[in-house]
Amino acid sequence: MDYPALLFATAAFAFGAVLLLWLLSIPLRDVSIIDMAFAGILAGIGVLAFVLAGTIAPLQLMLLGMVLAWALRMSWHLLRRNWGHGEDPRYARLRSWVDNERAFIWLSLRQVFLLQGVVIWLVALPLQVGMLAPAGMTPGALAWAGFALWALGLACESIADHQLTRIRADPSKRGTVLDTGLWRYSRHPNYFGELCVWWGIFLVACEAPWGFATVIGPLAYSYLVINITGQRTLDKKMAREKPAYKHYMESTSGLIPLPPRRRA
Which pLDDT score is estimated for 145?
98
Q: 4-13: per-residue pLDDT in tens?
A: 999 999 999 9
Cα gap 194→215, rounded to integer Å: 16
Residue 264 has pLDDT above 60, yes or no: no
Q: 133-190: per-residue pLDDT in tens?
A: 888 889 999 999 999 999 999 999 999 999 999 998 888 888 899 999 999 999 999 9
Name, in order, each residue with C-beta under 8 angstroms of 178's C-beta and a sequence gap of 6 or more: 163, 164, 167
Name, in order, each residue with C-beta under 8 angstroms of 151's C-beta and a sequence gap of 6 or more: 200
Burial zone of 19 (CB within 10 Å; 0-12 exposed, 13-18 middle, 19+ buried):
middle
Domain ranges of the chain: 3-251
Which pLDDT score is estimated for 56?
87
H or E element in which residue 113 lies: none
Average pLDDT over residues 32-44: 95
Contact between 160 and 113 (Cβ < 8 Å): no
Which pLDDT score is estimated for 263?
57
Residue 235 has pLDDT above 90, yes or no: yes
Name, in order, each residue with C-beta under 8 angstroms of 217's C-beta and a sequence gap of 6 or more: 122, 123, 124, 125, 126, 198, 202
Cα gap 173→183, rounded to integer Å: 15
The predicted model scores a pTM of 0.93
Asked whether the CA dihedral 15, 19, 25, 31 is positive or negative, the reply is positive
Which pLDDT score is estimated for 117?
96
Contact between 41 and 15 (Cβ < 8 Å): no
Which pLDDT score is estimated for 69?
98
- Return the top range by mean pLDDT from 28-37, 199-208, 237-246: 199-208
Residue 257 has pLDDT above 60, yes or no: yes
For residue 110, give the DSSP letter: I
Measured in degrees and rounded to the nearest 5, phi and psi for residue 185 equal -105, -15
Q: Which residues of 52-67 are buried (b: 16+ CB within 10 A; e: fewer)?
A: bbeeebebbebbbebb
Q: 43-97: per-residue pLDDT in tens?
A: 999 999 999 998 888 999 999 999 999 999 999 999 988 777 777 777 878 888 8
Cα gap 198→21, rounded to integer Å: 24
Cα gap 128→139, rounded to integer Å: 16
Q: 89-132: per-residue pLDDT in tens?
A: 778 788 888 888 899 999 999 999 999 999 999 999 999 999 99
Contact between 257 and 189 (Cβ < 8 Å): yes
